[in-house]
Chain A
Amino acid sequence: MSPLVKLSQVNKIYSAGEIPLQALKDIDLEVKKGEFIAIIGASGSGKSTLMNIIGLLDRPTSGSYYLENQDTSRFSQDHLAEIRNKKIGFVFQSFNLLPRTSSLDNVALPLIYAKVSSSERIKKTKKLLKELGLEEKINSRPNQLSGGQQQRVAIARALVNDPEIILADEPTGNLDSKSGAEVMSIFESLHKTGKTIVMITHEEDIAKHAKRVIRMKDGQIWTS
């Protein structure tokens, strides 16, 4: 079976400053469907840049990225937005929920951009929030939720369009250890249902939950 994600000789160079910065150097990486991968590295190791490229938020300076056998370098801005919408689910360290907006509307956001009808949106969103134990919090706003609850809303948002791959950037970074453990157990059960997960972390304890750990240093992959 061909890999879901295939990066070949990917380089990313930031040339905005006076000295060009090589954030990624000759990255080769394959992610198969259903894998649970942790990318671990110190800050500045290039792991966030790697995730942004996998998530199609950023483009490599050189090298190729095939997603489901399609060359992403040819995609237009609008096509990239569509792929992010339908195939990728992001979970961020700082949750990135819309303020003053209910859990329901936050989770339904990707469905709006997918042009899903209002009744269908509400149905899907409610079902997901229920599965994640947030039934009581459907109409709560982010500031009325605990950190763990906010991250669960964010995970629901990542899952709502049934994406091919979940990209999580330090998903437990802003949580206490109990909430962090809850979030990791959600990822583990998602993995069991066959979801592909790529998670960035700098904590060994968190990385241990993944089935495969990739270590990064100075823009390069050291072990995989």
Chain B
Amino acid sequence: MDILETTRSALTSILANRMRSFLTILGIVIGVTSIILLISLVSGLKTYITSQIEGLGSNLLIVIPGRIGGARSPGGVQANRLEYSDAANLRNRLSDQAQVSAAIQRNAALKFGNKNDKGVAIFGVEATYPKVISLNLTRGRFFKESEQQAAKKVAVIGTTVKSNLFGEGKSIGQAIDVAGLKYTVIGILGPRGAIFGIDLDNSIYIPISAAQRQFGIDRLNTIYISANSAGNVKAVQDRATALLKKRLSEDEFTVQTQEQTLSIISQVTGVLTAALGGIAAISLIVGGIGIMNIMLVSVTERTREIGLRKAVGAKPSDIRNQFLIEAIILSGLGGVIGIILGIGLSLLIGKFFTTTVPLWSVGLSFGFSMLVGVIFGVAPAIRAAKLDPIEALRHE
């Protein structure tokens, strides 16, 4: 009996029990759907973060407190010792090769009249910040060096802040309340979108000096360094590291290039993909057990049929192949439905978050579902092939 006939007869039997076949493959469908969906979310996240980071420019370096991948002090918490003087030192010493801006961040509520905007990201940066990281101002201007030196209370606001506090009204020149103090709006940023529900436009930029004074912060979250050319990124990294090492220990800071940041993100999303995909794969195995269960029931139910087929000339291998192919078709069908559902859901979620379905995830999940069909179909198929024809024909 050739594969084509075996497949035809397996399809006939699957279609004869539509409801049961559907319920049987449901486990596989859910497993494949969740694998595709989770991988598409993680790779979407990776694509988004990568594009965001690349958008900052490949010449960018960041200095952050603590050492990535390094030893931690007991208890796992590393004290932040990065100070404004470090940033000032870097700016002075690297002025021939790079632009530097220190940055701190706080979340706070904003008020204007009776309007509120809660959970706004307040970035305290230097006047050099727009030279380090490209910012797109739609109206007004960024603050000047003199305003930063004088700790002037001025703010450049994101589009969400603008619409929450001012709506369509005039915003430039207005004084907004930032956690209790009044700041004058001097500029409005262009829209930047959202990532995983975090609105990047719900933020304002104020002079770091004003921010430190208001919030009582003397440590920095980040020092941004932009090398003047791509060619001297490495040299800037080495020089910055050497300069910082004079005051700080190796474990207290990290100078990282964009390339290194991207490779860390790649590692993190790789681990995420493996972990989430692995969890989803468990549901595929559960689905496989479902298929095995139904195939065993099917072998028992069709014992007479098996006996008859043997009596009219089916070899044990014919019977084995028939049930094995039936199991594989069931799991393959589940795989196909799961892939369609997974891509569909991923497109739907793609309206809110970035999702991308990599081709390898489709291949992987389909291959895995077929494999599950083979693994869990073998035992019932062998049982069917081994049935004694006389016993089978007598079976009620």
Contact = CB atoms under 8 A, between A and B. Distances in A.
A82 B315 CA distance: 8
A58 interface: yes
A92 B393 contact: yes
A77 B309 contact: no
Contact of B315 (A52, A81, A157): A81
A86 interface: yes
B311 interface: yes
A13 interface: no
Interface in A160-177: 161
Interface residues of A, number: 25
Given A78-B317, A113-B314, A57 B389 contact: yes
Given A57-B389, A113-B1, A96 B304 contact: yes
Given A96-B308, A112-B5, A81 B313 contact: yes
A217 interface: no
A84 interface: yes
A111 B316 CA distance: 17
Interface string B299-338: 0000011011111111111100000000000000000000
A98 interface: yes
A118 B393 CA distance: 27
A52 B308 contact: no
Contacts of B316: 77-78, 81
B390 interface: yes
Contacts, number: 60
A115 B2 contact: yes
A84 B314 CA distance: 9
Interface in A44-62: 52, 55, 57-58
A109 B389 contact: no
A41 interface: no
Contact of B311 (A57, A86, A100, A161): A57
B311 A77 contact: no
A86 to B, nearest CB: 7
Contacts of A84: 310-313
B1 A112 contact: yes
A103 interface: no
B17 to A, nearest CB: 9
A52 B314 CA distance: 16
Given A109-B309, A110-B312, A112-B1, A58 B317 contact: no
Contacts of B315: 77-78, 81-82, 113
A187 interface: no
A114 B313 contact: yes
A144 interface: no
Contacts of A113: 1, 309, 312-315, 318
Interface in B260-307: 304-305, 307
Indicate the member of B9, B307, B308 with the most A CB atoms within 10 Å: B308
B304 A85 contact: no
B390 A52 contact: yes
A78 B317 CA distance: 8
A109 B312 contact: yes
B236 to A, nearest CB: 74
B317 A100 contact: no
Given A58-B390, A96-B393, A82 B308 contact: no
Contact of A55 (B5, B9, B311): B311
B12 interface: yes
Interface string A67-82: 0000000000110011
B20 to A, nearest CB: 13
Interface in A107-123: 109-110, 112-115
A90 B311 contact: yes
A158 B280 CA distance: 50
A110 B390 contact: no
Contact of B313 (A52, A85, A96, A101): A85
A81 B312 CA distance: 8
Contacts of A100: 12, 16
A110 B1 CA distance: 10
Contact of A81 (B5, B308, B310): B310
B13 to A, nearest CB: 9
Nearest to A109: B312
A182 to B, nearest CB: 22
Interface of A: 52, 55, 57-58, 77-78, 81-82, 84-86, 90, 92, 96, 98, 100-101, 109-110, 112-115, 157, 161
14 contacts: A57-B310, A78-B317, A81-B310, A81-B313, A81-B314, A81-B315, A82-B315, A92-B393, A96-B308, A96-B393, A110-B313, A112-B9, A157-B312, A161-B313
Interface pairs A-B: 9 shortest CB-CB = A85-B313, A113-B313, A110-B312, A81-B315, A96-B308, A57-B389, A78-B315, A100-B16, A90-B311
